[in-house]
């Protein structure tokens, strides 16, 4: 085992989820995923969750996993089922974000309005839960992803905001 294996393993989990969560900010489309359906007078997800953004996130996160395998074939020795895992991480990241948006609307929190902790952890927890079908992560990966996400997510959101890709810096 290489001393770099833990870092590689951390990145193998992190990159598809962050890619899936980030791309809908850039590729968002116009048609809302919920087709403007309202549940008890409130949007199901909101206008910010679009069909194009949802599928772009899942596809892009999976592509990031495939590119990792092409550039670093060594990764397959760490996680033999990595492409399936990358798909699960991307799909789960998107589902986690949708799940959070659903509950934000139920609690009367508007699209773009800050919801501490949920805004940072939704896609990570969703990715870890869904991808567990393909591979259960080590306990330390879960802890590292949760802790590091508070720093990484804040930084990437600030960059997206300063580049005018997002309307709010969170």
Query: Is position 169 within any domain?
Result: no
Task: Report the phi/psi class of residue 39: left, alpha or beta, with left for phi > 0 and alpha for psi in -120 to 50.
Answer: beta
Query: Is position 147 within any domain?
Result: yes
Round to the nearest angstrom and report the end-to-end CA distance of the chain: 38
Decide which of 157 and 38 is more confident: 38
pLDDT at 90 over 70: yes
For helices 5-26 and 118-131, the axis angle rounded to 10 degrees is 120
pLDDT digit string, tens, across residues 129-148: 999 999 999 999 999 999 99
pLDDT at 79 over 80: yes
**Structural domain of residue 54, as residue ranges?**
5-162
What does pTM read for this prediction? 0.90
Query: Is position 168 within any domain?
Result: no
Query: Is position 167 within any domain?
Result: no
* 10 closest CA partner among 151, 121, 141: 141
% of the chain exceeding 70 in pLDDT: 99
pLDDT digit string, tens, across residues 25-59: 899 899 999 999 999 989 999 888 999 999 999 99
Query: Is position 25 within any domain?
Result: yes
Mean per-residue pLDDT for 86-107?
96
pLDDT at residue 1 in the model: 57
Tabulate helix, strand, coil % of the chain (nearest 5): 65, 5, 30
Domain count across the chain: 1
Query: Is position 62 within any domain?
Result: yes
Query: Is position 143 within any domain?
Result: yes
Q: What are phi and psi of 31, to 5 degrees?
A: -80, 120
- 68-77, 90-99, 103-112, 161-170: least confidently modelled range: 161-170
Structure tokens, 50? 């679009």
d(CA 135, CA 81): 8
Decide which of 142 and 3 is more confident: 142
Query: Is position 170 within any domain?
Result: no
């Amino acid at each position: 085992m290489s001393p770099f294996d833990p870092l590689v393993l951390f990145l193998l989990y992190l990159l598809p989820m962050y890619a899936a969560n980030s791309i809908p900010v850039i590729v968002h489309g116009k048609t809302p995923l919920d087709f403007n359906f309202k549940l008890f007078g409130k949007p199901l997800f909101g206008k910010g969750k679009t069909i194009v953004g949802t599928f772009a996130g899942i596809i892009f996160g999976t592509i990031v996993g495939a590119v990792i395998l092409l550039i670093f074939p060594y990764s397959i020795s760490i996680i033999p089922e990595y492409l399936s895992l990358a798909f699960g991480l991307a799909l789960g990241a998107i589902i986690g974000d949708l799940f959070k948006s659903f509950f934000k609307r139920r609690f009367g929190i508007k699209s773009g309005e800050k919801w501490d902790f949920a805004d940072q952890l939704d896609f990570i927890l969703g990715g870890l839960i869904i991808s567990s079908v393909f591979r259960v992560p080590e306990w330390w990966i879960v802890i590292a992803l949760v802790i590091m996400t508070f720093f990484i997510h804040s930084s990437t959101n600030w960059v997206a905001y300063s580049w005018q890709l997002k309307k709010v810096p969170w």
